[in-house]
Amino acid sequence: AVGLGLLCVLLLTAITVLWIHNTNRTAEIDQLQTRNTKLTAEKDQLQSSNTQLTAEKKQLQSSNTKLTAEKDQLQSSNTKLTAEKNQLQTSNTQQTAEKNQLQTEKEELQKICRVLCKPQWKYFKSSIYYISTEKKSWSDSSTDCKNKQADLLIINSREEQVSELTEAWIGLTDAVTEGVWKWVDSSTLTTRFWAQGEPNNYENDDCAITSFQKAKSDILTWADYPCYHPVVAICERVLN
């Protein structure tokens, strides 16, 4: 009976120990399950956060790409506008210089016209012309033109070749070398409007007139005349 009682005590003790151990294991399992649930929730939260961050990263990358493109476009536009601005500034500088030059030329012309632009003077293509009323020799006529700050007429074009005028001295002579006609500025004769049969050096003619009365053409009206012969003159002043 004592042995049976001891066995019961031992069995009860073992059961108690097992119960306590089982209770502890159950508590540990519950604790682990709770921890696992918490970790799973944290994992899900981290995955959700990671997904959100990945989406935000892609959005930022897309935004950055767009902003970079806009920046490049703005830089290109800025470069173009800067070039246009520089071009406009250059054009403005050039136009200002041209305006100033024209103003200077205008003032110079006004100054000249105060002296020369009188009813007797005619303007044509940057020159003014004067036809004298007094008949004089070629030399005296040349002197009169110089006194007017001009020279005897130099004809370089068809437009300057006047017609339907009285015979008048022009700034052409071969007095230095016979047969070599030169203008009063020493330039060589290139454009010619000699009348038919002229120059003929009749009576040692060394000076030239235009509007020769015996000319058979309205254009070819030059003739050589004796330099001492009294004729009116055409003076020309080039307006530089």
From first to last of its 240 residues, what are the pLDDT tens digits of the chain?
Answer: 777 778 887 888 888 888 888 888 888 888 888 888 898 888 989 998 898 998 999 999 999 999 999 999 999 999 999 999 999 999 999 999 999 998 988 887 777 666 666 667 888 887 888 999 999 999 999 999 999 989 999 998 888 887 667 899 999 999 999 889 999 999 999 989 999 999 988 878 899 999 988 888 889 999 999 999 999 999 998 876
Whether residue 139 sits in one domain with residue 70: no
Residue 212 lies inside a defined structural domain of this protein: yes
Whether residue 174 sits in one domain with residue 130: yes
Residue 65 lies inside a defined structural domain of this protein: yes
Domain of residue 137 covers: 122-238
Residue 104 lies inside a defined structural domain of this protein: no
Whether residue 152 sits in one domain with residue 67: no
Residue 108 lies inside a defined structural domain of this protein: no
Q: State how far the alpha carbon of 28 is from the alpha carbons of 17, 25, 34, 39, in Å.
A: 16, 5, 10, 16
Nearest to 239 by CA among 121, 136, 137, 157: 121
* Domain boundary residue, one of 86, 105, 131: 86
Residue 176 lies inside a defined structural domain of this protein: yes
- Number of domain units in the chain: 2
Parallel/antiparallel/unpaired status of strands 232-238 and 168-173? parallel
Domain with residue 218: its CATH number is 3.10.100.10
Whether residue 59 sits in one domain with residue 148: no
* Domain boundary residue, one of 34, 66, 86: 86
Report if pTM > 0.85. no
Residue 96 lies inside a defined structural domain of this protein: no
Nearest to 214 by CA among 203, 234, 198, 231: 198
Residue 91 lies inside a defined structural domain of this protein: no
